[in-house]
């Protein structure tokens, strides 16, 4: 396959970068009163404004050519057709099948997977209806009041983010909790105040062997049994599994009828759309969950059928290529001006960095260009009092995404208008900056020595020309949230396709897991094996500390 750097459009973009190096967005807006109309689009109830980017019509034209020359159109079709585009693991990539709301079949190995998808959705609906109607009773005959989702990575971050984002749609008498970290504090603090007789655990692990998840699940089982007199029959009324390993699920004590399946073509970071989203469905109801799916489906159809020049996720991906590969940006900030979206940056960290944090291309060759940026951020206005100083006046170029709703779910004084005003103002300030003359004009009424005035003016000057995208929507609903997530999923796909990398494996995390399996028995007293001097010393240090602590205890 072709390295992107040898494509004609890549070479042209490199030349174009020099053409506009000294241009400023402030001037472009002054010269073109219709710039917003030229560089904004609407999709699935979301306004996407990308006019505050360091791009011209020529830039966008060249980026579209890069997408065409990279074979993006064919790669999109390959994904939707069920081709095994995850080459290293020989798997299809079909999160789009999970939210396919049409009658169109989707094929994997000659089989239409849609009947299986619909069957699992039906099973989820039956189960959530039982829990939410209080007809599912625990071992002692009481209804469920608390649900604890035990998973990690994609089995935690996506469902946790969506559940928290859709808080206004929750059922009042059913609380949803999440446990991911193998640090026992996560489980212990979550279980405080919960009642074994009214708590249901969802254990989400495709193989039912994930170390962190199963350690938490076993401890949760011990906690349950301690509260029901050790009666193991209680497990079947208080645990369900989201897995493909029926034997391991049954060995744990879970009734296999309460196992929800998903498939190897569902990647972890895309699994919230599958039965892994059961906690979401319990929180907002199955109708709400299917609204989430429908929002994503609308974006899927847009992505699959819309020309690149008007295709929102394609444009999002191409802008990222522009900043990462041509303007030297190393990170990207996600700034939701929406408290319910506080976990959105965390979810996108996994989605983007686990997907495109790669240095080997599809041919197994080392890449000679930057791939995935560092993704970070937090909700506004908190971030304005934390890291926005660096965004405005720092030496790093950090493209930003602002997300906001025009209306709030609540009405409390001027809170939402203040929030929205700050969101719009920060994006404008990043673009405009402040010149030395403007800074001096602001200080004109101060009676200060010239030396002091010059220092203050220099400190209040910043360059602007800092790029951002704005995502505005009327209100954060399940449908809108589904659309937002799908936009970013397809953006990541676009960038991976152009970088010629596999966005759907995560081999980089495996070595650490393998080493942890060998270190664990060594920490517990086994002979220390082959490690570097630092790791050996750290193992011995931990063992000595444990021995000393044990001695003090006795």
Reduce the DSSP state of residue 461 to 3 states and report it.
coil
Greatest pairwise CA separation for the chain in angstroms: 82
247 is catalytic: no
Do 515 and 341 form a contact (C-beta atoms < 8 A)?
A: no
Q: Which residues, listed in sequence order, are joined to residue 178 by a DSSP beta bridge?
A: 149
385 is catalytic: yes
Contacting residues for 294 by C-beta, under 8 A, at least 6 apart = 99, 101, 479, 482
Catalytically annotated residue among 212, 261, 346, 354? 354
Do 152 and 186 form a contact (C-beta atoms < 8 A)?
A: no
Say how far apart CA 288 and CA 275 lie, in whole Å.
14
513 is catalytic: yes
Residue of 246, 287, 309, 394 lying closest to 57 (CA atoms): 309
Contacting residues for 493 by C-beta, under 8 A, at least 6 apart = 75, 76, 79, 313, 317, 503
| 268-307 burial: b if 16+ Cβ within 10 Å, else e | bbbbbbbbbbbbbbbbbbbebbbbbbbbbbbbbbbbeeee
Catalytically annotated residue among 192, 385, 410, 552? 385
Say how far apart CA 79 and CA 489 lie, in whole Å.
13
Contacting residues for 491 by C-beta, under 8 A, at least 6 apart = 313, 316, 317, 320
Catalytically annotated residue among 415, 513, 540, 546? 513
Reduce the DSSP state of residue 263 to 3 states and report it.
coil
- Hey, which residues are catalytic here? 354, 385, 513
């Amino acid at each position: 396959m072709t390295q992107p750097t040898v494509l004609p459009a890549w070479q042209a973009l490199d030349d174009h970068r020099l053409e506009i190096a000294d241009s400023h967005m402030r001037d472009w807006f002054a010269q073109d009163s219709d710039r917003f109309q030229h560089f904004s689009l609407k999709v699935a109830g979301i306004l996407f404004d990308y006019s505050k980017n360091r791009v011209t019509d020529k830039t966008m034209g060249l980026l579209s050519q890069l997408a065409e020359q990279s074979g993006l159109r064919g790669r999109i079709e390959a994904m939707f057709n069920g081709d095994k585009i995850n080459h290293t693991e020989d798997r299809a990539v079909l999160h789009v099948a999970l939210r396919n709301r049409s009658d169109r079949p989707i094929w994997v190995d000659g089989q239409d997977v849609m009947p299986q998808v619909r069957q699992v959705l039906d099973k989820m609906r039956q189960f959530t209806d039982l829990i939410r109607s209080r007809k599912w009773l625990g071992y002692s005959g009481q209804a469920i009041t608390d649900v604890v989702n035990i998973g990690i990575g994609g089995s935690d971050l996506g469902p946790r983010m969506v559940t928290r984002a859709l808080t206004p749609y929750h059922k009042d008498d059913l609380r949803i909790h999440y446990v991911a970290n193998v640090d026992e504090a996560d489980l212990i603090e979550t279980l405080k105040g919960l009642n074994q007789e009214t708590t249901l655990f969802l254990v989400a692990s495709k193989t039912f062997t994930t170390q962190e998840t199963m350690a938490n699940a076993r401890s949760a089982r011990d906690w349950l049994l301690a509260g029901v007199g050790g009666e193991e029959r209680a497990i079947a009324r208080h645990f369900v599994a989201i897995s493909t390993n029926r034997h391991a699920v049954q060995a744990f004590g879970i009734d296999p009828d309460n196992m929800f399946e998903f498939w190897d073509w569902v990647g972890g970071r895309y699994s919230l759309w599958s039965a892994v989203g059961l906690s979401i469905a319990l929180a907002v109801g199955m109708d709400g969950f299917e609204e989430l799916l429908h929002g994503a489906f609308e974006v899927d159809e847009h992505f699959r059928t819309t020309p690149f020049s008007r295709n929102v996720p394609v444009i999002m991906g191409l802008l990222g290529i522009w900043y990462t590969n041509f303007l030297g940006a190393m990170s990207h900030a996600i700034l939701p001006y929406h408290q319910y979206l506080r976990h959105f940056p965390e979810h996108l960290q996994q989605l983007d960095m686990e997907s495109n944090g790669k240095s080997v291309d599809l041919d197994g060759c080392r890449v000679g260009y930057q791939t995935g940026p560092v993704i970070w951020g937090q909700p506004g206005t908190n971030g304005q009092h934390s890291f926005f100083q660096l965004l405005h006046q720092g030496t790093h170029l950090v493209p930003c995404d602002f997300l906001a709703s025009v209306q709030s779910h609540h009405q409390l004084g001027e809170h939402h208008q203040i929030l929205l005003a700050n969101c719009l103002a920060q994006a404008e300030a990043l673009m405009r900056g402040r010149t030395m003359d403007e800074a001096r004009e602001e200080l004109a009424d101060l009676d200060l020595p010239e030396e002091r005035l010059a220092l203050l003016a220099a400190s209040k000057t910043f360059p602007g020309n800092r790029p951002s995208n704005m995502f505005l929507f009327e209100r954060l609903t399940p449908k809108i949230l589904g659309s937002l997530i799908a936009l970013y999923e397809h953006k990541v796909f676009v960038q991976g396709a152009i970088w010629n990398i596999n966005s759907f494996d995560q081999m980089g995390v495996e070595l650490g897991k393998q080493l942890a399996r060998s270190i664990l028995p060594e920490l517990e007293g086994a002979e220390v094996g082959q490690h570097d001097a630092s790791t050996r010393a750290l193992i011995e240090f931990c063992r000595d500390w444990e021995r000393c602590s044990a001695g003090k205890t006795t």
